[in-house]
Amino acid sequence: MKEESIVSQFKPVFFYKKNQWINLPDIASDATLLNVLRLQLHCTDVKEGCASGDCGACVVAVADTVDNPQFRAINSCLRFAHSVSGMAIYTAGDLAEMAGGHLHPVQQAMVDQHATQCGFCTPGFVMSLFSLYQNTRGVEQTPEQVKHAISGNLCRCTGYRPIVDAGCTMHLYPKVFASSIPSLPLLEDSAWQEGGYFQPRELTELLSLKAKHPQATLVAGATDVGLVVTQRYQKLPEIIDLTRTQALLAIESSPYVLNLGGAVIVQDAFDAMCQTRPALKAYFERFAGGSIRQSATLAGNIANGSPIGDSMPVLLALDAQLVLTKWHDQRVVRRTVGLHEFYLGYRQTVLDPTEIIEQILIPGTVEGEWCRAYKLSKRQEDDISIVAMAIALCIKGGILESVRIGIGGVAATPVRAYATERTLLQGGWCEQTITLAEQVLQEEFQPLSDLRGSAKYRKLALGNLLRRSWLQYSGQMATFADISQRP
């Protein structure tokens, strides 16, 4: 196949599986990877549970066809099949063959630790652990590392202790790794008619397509867009896939700014942010589940505009900027907008129909900066927020020079707590001002009551989270990370 973009409503999907390249013709543009695996290849080891990325029964591992590829555990129920063309796909049924007809170390550990009962969720757990095993070359894992790897998987029978035990003992067996992936063979181009599914490789090509097809749906990990197909049973007549656009995959870091491309996946974006702000790691690990973090994009979470999107409070607190880009008058036109200016209303943004988020710009750390983020939800992981709050301070010589507070779950959009910020700047970062700022923060927003929490609870929680930040800053309250490190 030529390196030029593929454009069609039905086109082949080709990927490497079971030691061979497989070419499946005439796959619909919005076909999910799960349906292609089950219906076209009869891979019944891939299960559909919730069809929304919550349970992990559908998890498979994917890897790019490069030397020493990164293996990613993703939800096949949401990911569109065409987005993984040219990649290697692994399901639980492939592992025994990889091990020469024996159980793979991950599978053997699951058996020996009695970590499966009904078995419905087991293939997904196996593939999440397989990705961890493959990426770390089979070294010993801590319980925390295993729990992090399976955070997108749910089990309703066995419970997690034996599964975690399996993850902690899979290094004890003879090592088995995926073989190297041969180069992608050249395939003849077909006479695909224009329309349907677009896979631009160059930024100008992407922008030109968006200008010609302003109503086309932008897709990368499809962790949100996929629900339109799996839950609402709607068809997507035109899709523009961002996963091949190289300019959107870059991560560039300097002391002054972290530049994240518009198709950088959430996990890679969070890892890059934690290089300079490690205190945010615990918060980021609670973003959805592991398999969602390996597929979703940060720009997609921002553009979605959900008032409970967990990345936005942090980005608001860090004063992130967005580079919005489009094709106009035969040239690339860019504008930079602060994230605090991006949202106009519930799931409404300043993006015009032909624009994309090309870059996310996050200012570098400054002397005297202190930053923390908090999330309240009914589950520790793989759950949406009731309330989320992030705060970034700059204190020099005991003087509060700046403060930004990002909030989620209390308004129609993610918001800055401007009134509370002014109160803190006027009174200083001290307990007396914190007491006043708590009251201001509780009255600054008028949240709704829903199944997750009442308006009264959300208001009370906001004040408590601000108080928690003061106690942690002043050393009066240990963090969860501090407690977990104690002997």
State the residue for tokens 């129909």: 353
Pairing state of beta strands 387-396 and 257-261? unpaired
Q: What digits encode the pLDDT tens for the residues 55-80?
A: 999 999 999 887 788 999 999 999 99
Integer Cα distance of 468 and 478 in angstroms: 10
* Residues ≥6 apart with Cβ < 8 Å to 475: none
State the residue for tokens 């570098």: 364
Q: What digits encode the pLDDT tens for the residues 144-184?
A: 999 999 999 998 887 899 999 999 999 999 999 998 887 77
Strands ordered across the beta sheet of 59-64? 20-28, 10-17, 87-90, 59-64, 71-75
The count of C-alpha atoms lying within 13 angstroms of the C-alpha of 377, restricted to the half-sphere facing its C-beta, is: 20
At 385, the amino acid letter reads: S
Integer Cα distance of 389 and 464 in angstroms: 11
For residue 417, the SS3 value is coil
Integer Cα distance of 183 and 16 in angstroms: 10
The count of C-alpha atoms lying within 13 angstroms of the C-alpha of 39, restricted to the half-sphere facing its C-beta, is: 11
pLDDT at 9: 62
Q: What digits encode the pLDDT tens for the residues 228-270?
A: 999 989 989 899 999 999 999 999 999 999 999 999 999 999 9
Write the DSSP assignment of 117-148 as a string of letters. SS-SSHHHHHHHHHHHHHHTTT----HHHHHH
> What angle in degrees, to the nearest 10, is found between the helix axes of 105-112 and 160-169?
140
Integer Cα distance of 153 and 147 in angstroms: 10
Q: What digits encode the pLDDT tens for the residues 198-229?
A: 989 999 999 999 999 999 999 999 999 999 99
Integer Cα distance of 238 and 47 in angstroms: 27
Structural domain 249-473, CATH architecture: 2-Layer Sandwich (3.30)
Q: What digits encode the pLDDT tens for the residues 359-386?
A: 999 999 999 999 999 999 998 888 899 9
- DSSP 8-state symbol, 36: I
- DSSP 8-state symbol, 58: T
| Nearest Cα residue to 417 out of 395, 450, 435, 439 | 439
State the residue for tokens 């994240």: 260
Integer Cα distance of 178 and 62 in angstroms: 12
Integer Cα distance of 271 and 265 in angstroms: 10
Q: What is the mean pLDDT of residues 13-33?
A: 91
Locate the domains of the chain by residue range. 13-185, 249-473
Whether residue 336 contacts residue 330, with contact meaning beta carbons closer than 8 Å, is answered with no
Q: Read off the pLDDT band of 196 (50, 70, 90).
A: confident
The residue that leads in pLDDT, 273 or 195, is: 273
CATH code matching the domain that covers 13-185, chosen among 1.10.10.10, 2.20.28.10, 3.10.20.30, 3.30.465.10: 3.10.20.30
Alpha carbon 128 to chain centroid distance?
15
- DSSP 8-state symbol, 112: H
Pairing state of beta strands 257-261 and 251-253? antiparallel
